[in-house]
Structures are given as structure tokens and as C-alpha cells.
Amino acid sequence: MPAVVTDQFRILNASNFVDSVLDETNNSYYVFLGLPNPQGKTPNGVIGFGRSSTWNTNPVPSPVDNFQYSNHYRDTSIFGKKISSQNIRRVVKKHTWTSNTRYDMYRHDYQIGVNEAPNGQTGSLYKTNYYVINSDFRVYICIHNGSSPTEPSGSKSLDEPTFTDLEPSAAGTSNDGYVWKYLFTVSPSDIIKFDSTEYIVVPNNWDTTTDSQIQSVREAGNSDINKNQIKTIVIKESGGAGNYAEGTHPVNILGDGIGGKALVTVSSTGIITKAEVTAGGYGYTYGIIDLQPAQASSTIPTPSYLIPIIPPSKGHGYDIYSELGADKVLVYVRFDDSTKDFPTDTSFAQVGIIKNPKQFSSDSKATANDYSSLYSIKLTGDLGTTADVVGAGITQLVTDGVARGYIASYDKDTQVLKYFQDRSLYFGDGNDQGDNSAVSTQGKVLSFESTSANIISASPSFSVSIDQGFNGVTTTTSSNKQINLGVEFTNGLANPEINKKTGDVLYIDNRSIVKRDLRQKEDIKIILEF
């Protein structure tokens, strides 16, 4: 049977996601970075699980969506930062006002193959350019674009809208026929975080905010309050000559609403040339203009065709998300060197979103603003002149065999090495579960231990011992600088701040390798389209 998932369902899903993120009592969402060694090899020289020798080519490998890979994404993650109410917004496609451009107007009745938007050539309102953002970051809906029976596509817009009046108005004095409705101004803080060439940022909590400007727009759009719902009447057909009496005629807007009235103007030839709303009324979901007071006789051989445009919900500005088709969400986070959880000497090739990871040693969800998902080892000395060690494999002889890991970071000043473990180190050939002679000695995941056994790397080559006497979260460098390491050490070892086997991976983006640096910050912007 024919069926459709409506645009409103997509808008609802976007809103539900935002609401879920903002519900910090029950949820914690994080953006995480991971996979420091996407081209990395296992100790036996085989490219590891989830990696590729040609990773950094264009295009990079596509992410895989299954439970196996979700576990892998968590295993190879490095650190994460919480998504707060300040870092998530709904967004819509950007249409920047440009002079001499034809814009479509807001209409409730665009339909594929029946009544398509003349400029957007589409039957979907949300795929047209019916709203704009001006040079001052103010957003407007096009209420009327100057369309007429002789110019159904409308005229070209000549005057940039700049006003903040609550009622729709022309933008200037050119008489281009455009009528705009002011909605909101993007705040400076949102411009800094979320602005892009492709999207307009929409305010959060439109229906509940106490912001005075938004409140006034919202209440002005509530027809239950102002009784002024319908704003526009489109003249599709003017009617035949002589059908209507010359002059201006007050008429009623009929339908399922109350109180709608209009004024129609009839030319000397008896055709309708103008129709303007004098009272918008309220409660309309459809309407028809009662033109009987304007009729020249009881018979109308060629009737006119006037269409009252029904605004969204209760009126323009009342429900901004439905009015603009806000089915996309933008998530923003910044990673810098403000915490040791975010080492600057590492690389990453994956960006992801995870919901409700749990704390390492607790069944409670993580709630901190950021976390490290790496194991840490405090060494007794540095790695000397060793070249970049990120991605290198390390081993240690432990009680039950050999512990293995990949280096994600090494801080020369603090002598802290951070590592992670994933299946690439424990599968016989780095890729699958085939039987081989090394299964019994290599297949079990073992933790590094605080013993006299050194941490060893084959390539680059080094052997260094663990500082078994080191405990706590701070250390003093050789220059007598005290540094907070971000994690609690016991006998030279520290665990991640989250349980890497927990949390729902909601989003993964594979990227070309990004090498972090002390002098750079990473601004991550993720667009989620529902």
C-alpha cells in the first residue's frame, strides 16, 4: 500500500533527539575522537581490524554499521567531550538574501505534479527558498513574492528585509511585491559556534524560552491570542471580464475558522486585481473567499480563483521548527589542550557520538564534561630521541602471558604513556578468528601490570620501566612544574574514565588522519539529518 514518512515525523525526531540530549538527568551524550593508527599494523606486520593500508587516500573507507564494529569504535576511542545545551542546535538550509532573486513564498499547498513551487520546481515546501537570512543574521519568511495571474513565479526581490516589526511588511520602497515576516535574529554566540555556509542556526526551546524578542514573535503568531491567523490571499485567476462590480468590496473568509475578512479590488473591466486580508481570524485549516458581495450578477461564467494561504499551526512564528522544516541538528564541540584528557601529541581518524557510556568502575553513566578512554602508564624515564611513537605497538611480559597495546600518546614532560587495546592485537593475523599456532598464547586480552617487567616496543625500538611508586593525579616535571594528569594513578598505572564496553555508538565519521598539535584546536561540527 502507498505510504509516506512525513516531514513532520522527521522534524519530531530531530526535536526528540535535542530533548534527549538536554535531559541530562537521564542521559549523557559525548562526541569522541578515535583510531589514532588507521594504517597501523599488528606486531606481526598485518594491517589490523578496521584499518586499511590506503586509509588516507580519497575517499577514506566507509564506516561499518554493525555490533562488531561498534565495539571496535569504542575500543579505539581516545577521549570524549560532553554535548551540553550550549553545544547543540537545530539548523535549516541557508538561503542568504540576494538582490534580484526570485523567492518562493510560504504556501501550505505545494504538491508534486499539481502545484509545484515555481522557483524551486518542487512539490515540497521545505525544499524551496521561502525564507532568507539577511546580512545582519535576521531571518524572515516570505509571505508574498509578488505573484499574480500574469506573473505566477513572482517578481524579483529588490529590497533586503531589515525590520524587526511583528507584523509582515514590505522591505523597502521599490514596490517589488514582496512581503516578509520577521522571525528571529541569530545570536552572536550561536554565530561563533554554529554558523556555516550551508545552514542557519535555529534557537533552542522556542516554545518555552523567556527571551523577550522570541516571546513577542511567538505570541504574535498565536492566533488564539491575536485572532490574526491568515495573512495572505493569492490570486490564481482574476475571473472573466465583467464578472465582478468595479470598486472595493469587503468579503468574508469562510471555512473551518472564525473571523477572517478580506478586501477585494475590482478593475473597470470587472476582474479582480487585488485581495488583501483585513482580519486574519483564527482556527483555519482551510478557507475559501466568499465573493458574492463583489459579483456583478448571479451567474459567473469565468469565476476567479482566490486562495487564502493557511499559516503553520496557529500562525507564522508560533512553531518555528515546523515553519522552517527543522529536521537537522548541529552538534558542536571544541577539543583543545585545556585538559590532559585531550593529549595534543596524538592523531585521530574517526569522529563519533556515543550515548550513556558508563564510568569505568561503576554501573552509573558518565557525567563529567570530558573523559579519557585510554589506559595510562607512568614511566621512570622518557623515550629519548625516539621518533613519533603514536600508533606503535607495545608489549609487556605479565603473569599469564604477554600484554599488548597501541600507543595513543606519549608526554615527554610527564613521562606518561597512554595506550589502548583492540582485537587487532589478539587475533592471530590481525583480522579474523582463524585457528593458528599462536592462538593459545596471543588470543587472550591481558592487562599491563605494575611489575619490574619493562614496556617494550619493537618499532620504534625501546624498553622502559614503570614508575611503580607513583600514585595520585598530579606529577612534578623536571622543571618543577606541577601538572594534573586527569586520571588517578595506582602504582604507576591508571585506567580509563569510562567502561569502553558500554554506551550506544550513534554516529561515526571516518576522516583522513588528523595530527593534533599544541598550537591547534579542533572545532568539530556534526550535522545529523533525520
Q: What are the E-state strand segments in 221-369?
A: 232-237, 247-255, 261-266, 272-279, 287-290, 305-309, 328-335, 347-355, 358-359
The answer to whether residue 318 sits within a structural domain is no
Q: Residue 494 phi/psi, 5° resolution?
A: -140, 140
Average pLDDT score over residue span 123-146: 97
Q: Give the model's pLDDT for residue 57.
A: 87
Q: Which of 191, 210, 242 is the last residue of a domain?
A: 191
Tell me whether residue 130 is in a domain. yes
DSSP per residue, 1-20: ------HHHHHHHHHHHHHH
Q: Residue 86 — very low, low, confident or very high, per pLDDT cuts 50/70/90? A: very high
Binned at pLDDT 50, 70 and 90, residue 313 comes out as confident
Do residues 356 and 416 share a domain?
A: no
Residue 516 has pLDDT above 60, yes or no: yes
Domain membership flag for residue 403: yes
> What mean pLDDT is predicted for residues 467-472?
96
Take residue 54 and report the three cell numbers written for it. 590506503
Can the peptide bond before residue 460 be classed as cis, meaning omega within 30 degrees of 0?
Answer: yes
Domain shared by 368 and 505, yes or no: yes
Residue 345 CA, distance from chain mean position: 28
Q: What is the pTM of this model?
A: 0.91
The number of beta carbons lying within 10 Å of the beta carbon of residue 62 is 8
Does residue 389 share a domain with residue 480? yes
pLDDT bracket for residue 443 (50, 70, 90):
confident
When computed from its CA atoms, the radius of gyration of the chain, rounded to whole angstroms, is 32
Count of all residues that appear for the chain in the document: 530
Same domain, 379 and 488: yes
Range of the domain at 123: 95-191
d(CA 48, CA 41): 6
For 520, the grid coordinates are 591547534
Check whether residue 82 and residue 162 sit in a common domain. Answer: no
Instruction: Say yes or no: 473 and 385 in one domain.
Output: yes
Which residue, 241, 239, 220, 242, is CA-closest to 229?
220
Mean local confidence (pLDDT), 99-120: 93
Please give the Cα distance from 401 to 236 (Å, whole number).
82
* Closest-CA residue to 80 (of 529, 524, 527): 524
The count of domains in the chain is 4
Indicate whether 362 and 379 sit together in one domain. no
Residue 55 lies in a domain: no
Amino acid 429: pLDDT:
56
Q: What is the mean pLDDT of residues 293-313?
A: 93
Neighbouring C-alpha atoms within 13 Å toward the C-beta of 216:
9
Structural domain includes residue 114: yes
pLDDT of residue 243 exceeding 80, the answer is yes
- Reported as a pLDDT band with limits 50, 70 and 90, residue 428 is low
Residue 314 lies in a domain: no
**Would the pLDDT of 450 be above 90?**
yes
Looking at residue 444, what is its pLDDT? Answer: 85
Is 369 in the same domain as 379?
no
| CB environment 336-364: b (16+ within 10 A), e (fewer) | eeebbbbbbbbbbbbbbbbbebbbbeeee
pLDDT of amino acid 331? 98
Q: Is residue 329 scored above 60 in pLDDT?
A: yes
Question: CA-CA distance, 458 to 463, in Å (whole number)?
Answer: 9
Whether the predicted pLDDT of 433 surpasses 80: no
pLDDT the model gives residue 465: 95
Whether pLDDT at 385 is above 70? no
Q: Which of 303-307, 387-391, 458-462 has the lowest mean pLDDT?
A: 387-391
Q: Are residues 115 and 186 both part of a single domain?
A: yes
Q: Find cell 584546536 and name the residue.
A: 521
Residue 275 CB partners (closer than 8 Å, separation 6+): 233, 235, 262, 263, 264, 265, 289, 306
Mean per-residue pLDDT over the chain, rounded: 93
pLDDT for position 399: 94
Note the Cα 195 to chain centre separation in Å: 11
Mark whether 342 and 380 lie in a shared domain: no
Question: What share of the chain in percent tops pLDDT 70?
Answer: 98
Residue 448 CA to chain centroid, in angstroms? Answer: 39
82 and 109, same structural domain? no
Is 517 a member of any domain?
A: yes
Check whether the bond before 168 is cis (ω within 30° of 0).
no
The pLDDT tens digits of the residues spanning 144-185 come to 999 999 999 999 999 999 999 999 999 999 999 999 999 999
Residue 387 has pLDDT above 70, yes or no: no
Q: Is 42's pLDDT higher than 80?
A: no
Q: How confident is the model at residue 487 (pLDDT cuts 50, 70, 90)?
A: very high
Same domain flag for 506 and 360: yes
Which of these, 91, 140, 98, 92, lies nearest to 119 by C-alpha position?
A: 98
Average pLDDT over residues 109-127: 91
- Please tell me the distance from the alpha carbon of residue 355 to that of residue 373, in angstroms, as a whole number: 14
The pLDDT value recorded for residue 338 is 82
pLDDT band at 478 (very low <50, low <70, confident <90, very high): confident
Section 108-115 average pLDDT:
92
What are phi and psi for residue 4, nearest 5 degrees? -145, 140
Name 90's Cβ contacts closer than 8 Å, sequence gap at least 6: 14, 15, 18, 201, 202, 204, 321, 326, 328, 329, 330
| CATH number of residue 513's parent domain | 2.60.340.10
Q: How confident is the model at residue 431 (pLDDT cuts 50, 70, 90)?
A: low
pLDDT digits (tens, 9 = 90+) for 191-219: 999 999 999 999 999 999 999 999 999 99
Dihedral angle over CA of 341, 342, 343, 348, nearest 10: 130
- Tens digits of residue pLDDT in 340-372: 889 999 999 999 999 999 999 899 999 999 999
In this structure, the dihedral spanned by the alpha carbons of residues 11, 12, 15 and 21, taken in order and rounded to 10 degrees, is -130
DSSP per-residue codes, 466-529 = B-TT--EEEEE-TTS-EEEEEEEEBTTEE--SEETT-SEEEEEEEEEEEE--TT--EEEEEEEE
pLDDT beyond 80 at 427: no
- DSSP per residue over 103-149, as a string? -PPP-S--BTTTB-BTTTTBS-GGGS--EEE-TTSEEEEEEEE--BT
